[in-house]
Amino acid sequence: KKVLHIVGARPNFMKVAPIHRAISERGSLTQTLVHTGQHYDVKMSDVFFTDLGMPAPDIHLGIGSGSHAEQTAKVMIELEKVFTSEKPDLVSVVGDVNSTLAAALVAAKMGIPISHVEAGLRSFDRTMPEEINRVLTDRISDLLLTPSADADANLIREGLEPARIRLVGNVMIDSLLAAREKALRLPTLSELGLEPRGYAVCTLHRASNVDDAKVFSGLLSALSHVASRLPVVFPVHPRTRKRISELGLAATLERTPGLRLVDPMGYLEFLALTSQARLAFTDSGGLQEETTVLGIPCLTVRENTERPITVDIGTNVVVGTDPVRIQQTADRILDGYGKKGRIPDRWDGRSGERIAQEYEQFLGVGKTPR
């Protein structure tokens, strides 16, 4: 029986790597890895395969950027051909990017069973493209593999069958735990002239934050304030880099004391950076989870999160986009009043293994006990 994995954008790679590895170690299923090419820069894609020890994609569609409709439609057209020739028994999709929904829609129409890894997360904010992708992908998936109990509750509230839902834990954390020691041996900090716990890290790329000039400049002003207290390292996403240059902000940012704009980093390098930071600012989903496991205070500069467990029991604070509130919260943390967190259940490095077992069970192969 054959599992076909879809990856498209940066946050997908660290989720698929542990599943691919677990399936290959167990040896009871064959698998094909398809890259849609939604992300295509070396620094947004290739480096992750090397860092995560994941084989190169078997099939690369080379779709690239475009409007939501264009990007989703192009992925769908190409995937229909791939599914026709590859004849997978199960299509495995992860996360909430456009490639995720495109793959699920094509598989559903072709009658191919779908597994959604990271099912059930909800921000309850339909202005977020990822929320649409999550809701629709879950609705048409046969297996709903969730990272935490809140996700199970969301799915049940939406009327999805409990029999399709399995709490497998957070598979991205498998990648983090497997790579942590290796990352800590890298010279990343010394190359940047940083001391452990002596700097903050920032990532911003969400359309709602960087495409709106007023919101984006507010966030940058809050960052400049923090950068006056300790260095802030800011690996800049291509979307954000574009906005900075369109808004003519590059020169001002380069001159801001303490603020260090750098290129997007590979998985290991970025893990070296985050795991030794004093504080993180982000609008990413993944970083909210990674900082929770690493015990690093995280300020999520959004109005909501689809990952409430990182706030309820982790180190995350959803701080919004008001610069004054961000500065005050950052100051409190830097003054020693950060919150202590715990690691959620089943974020233990074994989710890939659980997922591989679910796939064997679903496809009726192997000897997985129930």
Which residues are the active-site residues? Answer: 205
Contacts of 129 (CB under 8 A, 6+ apart): 68, 98, 207
**320 binds ligand UD1 per the rule CB under 6 A:** no
306 is a site residue for ligand UD1 (CB under 6 A): no
Q: In this chain, which of 25, 30, 41, 70 binds ligand UD1, going by CB under 6 A?
A: 41
Beta carbon nearer to ligand UD1, 282 or 327: 282
Give the burial string for 308-342 (b: 16+ CB within 10 Å, else e): bbbbeebbbbbbebebeebbebbeebbeeebeebe
* Cα–Cα dist 120/241, whole Å: 31
Cα-Cα-Cα-Cα dihedral sign, residues 281, 296, 201, 237:
negative
Q: Could you tell me the sign of the dihedral formed by the alpha carbons of 250, 255, 256, 259, in that order?
A: positive
Interface with ligand UD1 includes 9 (CB under 6 A)?
yes
Among 10, 21, 74, 354, binds ligand UD1 (CB under 6 A): 10
Distance (Å, whole) CA 267 – CA 355: 22
Asked if 11 touches ligand UD1 (CB under 6 A), the answer is yes
Q: How many binding residues for ligand UD1 (CB under 6 A)? A: 19
In whole angstroms, give the CA distance from residue 105 to residue 83.
12
- Please, which of residues 110-139 interact with ligand UD1 by CB under 6 A? 129-130
Binding of ligand UD1 at residue 46 (CB under 6 A)? no
Among 24, 50, 65, 84, binds ligand UD1 (CB under 6 A): 65
Q: Which of 98, 123, 146, 175 binds ligand UD1 (CB under 6 A)?
A: 98
Tokens linked to 201:
């890290």
Distance CA(109)–CA(228), nearest Å, equals 54
If one asks whether residue 309 binds ligand UD1 (CB under 6 A), the answer comes out as no
Nearest distance from residue 108's CB to ligand UD1, in Å?
19
The footprint of ligand UD1 (CB under 6 A) covers 9-11, 38-41, 44, 65, 96-98, 129-130, 205, 237-239, 242
